[in-house]
Amino acid sequence: MELKEICFQAIEIIKATGKNISGEIKSFDKQNVESKGVHDFVSFVDKTAEKQLINGLENLVPQAGYIAEEQTVKQDDSLIKWIIDPLDGTTNFIHGLMPYAISVALMQGNEIVLGIVYEISRNETFYSWKGAKAYLNEEEIKVTKAKSVKDSLIATGFPYYDYDRLPQFMKTLDYFMQNSHGLRRLGSAATDLAYVACGRFDAFYEYSLSPWDVAAGAFIVQQAGGKVADFSGGDNYIFGKEIIATNELIFEEFLGNVKDIML
C-alpha cells in the first residue's frame, strides 16, 4: 500500500464529511438524538457521517474491513481495517460546543499504519502514516519538552460508564490539580490526543474508551515523538479501554502517578 497517497485521499474524504457535519449545526434538533447509554449519545449526523466515510474509504483500500462506532457497516476480521469515529464529541456537538472531530485510523494486522484526526470546528487536520513525521495542516508537529508533571498541562475525560473505578479516578484529579499546571476536559479524546501530539497538552489519560476514540490520535502522538501506553505501561491501549499519552520526558513519572492511583 502507498500509505502517503492513501492518507491524503482519506483526508479529502474526511474533510468533505466534516463540511457536511458543519452544515447540520444551525438546523440540528436535539430531539433527533438517541441514547446509547447514560451520557452516551448518537444522532443521525453520526450515522450519516459514518456512511459517507465508509463509502469513500472503501475505494481506497478495497480489501479493508471496518471497526466503526455506529456500526452502520458489518464489522469483520479482515487483516486490514479502518477504525472510524464519525463524530468524536457528539455531546459537544448537540449542545453547540467545541471541539468535535472525525477520527480515522488504518490498522494492518495489529499495527496502526495511518492516523487522521480532523477537528471540524477549527478546520485542523492532524495526520501521519507509517514512516512519516506527524503534521497539522501540512506543518510538522512535535510533542512538548516539559520535563516534569509539575510543569505540565494535562487533559483527561470523564467516563460514560464503568463507575466502579470512579473513586480512584477522582483521586487522580485531586493529585494532578495540586501537582501540575492544571487539568482540562474537552470532551473529545481524539482531539485531546491530537493536542498532545502538537504540544498544546503535555499529557492525556482516560479510561472506558473504545478503539475508535484513540487509534488515530495515539498513532499521531507516537509519530510526533510521544509515548503511549495503558495504565500498566503495556501496549493494550487501543482495545484495553485505558490510555496515557505524554512526551518522552515525563512518561515514566506520569505513568507512575496514574498507575499508583488507578491500579
Domains of the chain: which residue ranges? 3-140, 149-262
Summarised one tens digit per residue, pLDDT across range 170-217 is 999 999 999 999 999 999 999 999 999 999 999 999 999 999 999 999
Kindly tell me if the per-residue pLDDT of 50 is higher than 70: yes
How many angstroms separate the CA atoms of 226 and 210, rounded? 20
Residues 6 or more apart in contact with residue 254 via CB below 8 angstroms: 149, 152, 203, 205, 244, 246
Give the whole-number percent of the chain exceeding pLDDT 90.
Answer: 83
pTM: 0.95
Q: Distance between CA 67 and CA 18 in Å, rounded? A: 19
pLDDT greater than 90 at residue 42: no
Reported as type and span, the H/E element at residue 175 is helix 166-178
Q: Distance between CA 185 and CA 177 in Å, rounded? A: 12
Q: Does residue 154 carry a pLDDT above 90? A: yes
pLDDT over threshold 50, residue 39: no
pLDDT at 30: 63
- Asked if residue 102 has pLDDT above 50, the reply is yes
State which fold the 3-140 domain adopts. Fructose-1,6-Bisphosphatase; Chain A, domain 1 (3.30.540)
Q: With bands split at pLDDT 50, 70 and 90, how would you rate the model's confidence at 37? A: very low
213-235 b/e with 16+ CB inside 10 Å = b? bbbbbbbbbbbbbbbbbbbeeee
Asked, colleague to colleague, whether 3-140 and 149-262 share their fold, the answer is no
- pLDDT attached to residue 78: 85
Rounded Cα gap, residues 147 and 20, in angstroms: 41
Kindly indicate the confidence band of residue 35, based on its pLDDT and cuts at 50, 70 and 90: low
Question: In this predicted structure, what is the pLDDT of residue 134?
Answer: 99
pLDDT (0 to 100) of residue 9 = 98
SS3 124: strand
What digits encode the pLDDT tens for the residues 192-202? 999 999 999 99
According to DSSP, residue 95 is labeled T
Query: Percent of the chain at pLDDT above 70?
Result: 93
Provide the CATH topology of domain 149-262: D-Maltodextrin-Binding Protein; domain 2 (3.40.190)
